[in-house]
A = this chain, B = another copy of it.
């Protein structure tokens, strides 16, 4: 799951980025409105955390521009506490949720997780697909026969992405984009290696190969 964090505060930005990484997301950080707007259009983020008070171009404007261009990426905005106006404007502009500053990291994490679940159709409870149950607290997965596997960071992100998009052919480049932070364009077989490791844990049939196209998770 790959996020864009748009936050110009030099203190808060990296701190949050770190916290989000630890929570198992791949996070890019952008520090101004123009840069953020471009990134949000180019990169396939699963969610964007958007501070409204930004240099160069306000967060609100950025958000409106995205929506005008039919970019419907889920957005959680960070508003000033008590600013009822900002919040309303934010929702009007197409935000999916908001967190008022100041906030606790755990609060933000909870909102992000909720929005992601909502936007993927699932609602509430642990992610449960195709006989697998993903435990986000323990970063582990339980099979239908009860066996429990712990997952490394990358395994976890990859599997979660599969489970959030079941029955859908997902190309390797799309996987790379969602599992890794910006850089990237790796000409390597990392994804294959990780698919292999996941298959060893959750079983071979759950992740099927579509030669030349990608993989498909949990589906006839």
Contacts and interface: CB of A to CB of B under 8 A. Distances in A.
A22 B170 CA distance: 9
Given A24-B213, A213-B22, A220-B148, A138 B168 contact: yes
Given A137-B168, A137-B169, A152-B211, A103 B41 contact: yes
Interface of A: 15, 18-19, 22-24, 38, 41-44, 69, 81, 100, 102-106, 137-139, 148, 150, 152-153, 167-169, 171-174, 177, 185, 210-214, 216, 219-220
Nearest to A105: B44
A105 B19 CA distance: 29
Contact of A169 (B41, B103, B138, B214): B138
For this chain, the copies found in one complex come to 2
Nearest to A24: B213
Given A22-B171, A171-B22, A173-B18, A139 B100 contact: no
A23 B173 CA distance: 11
Contacts of A104: 41-44
A210 to B, nearest CB: 7
A38 B80 CA distance: 12
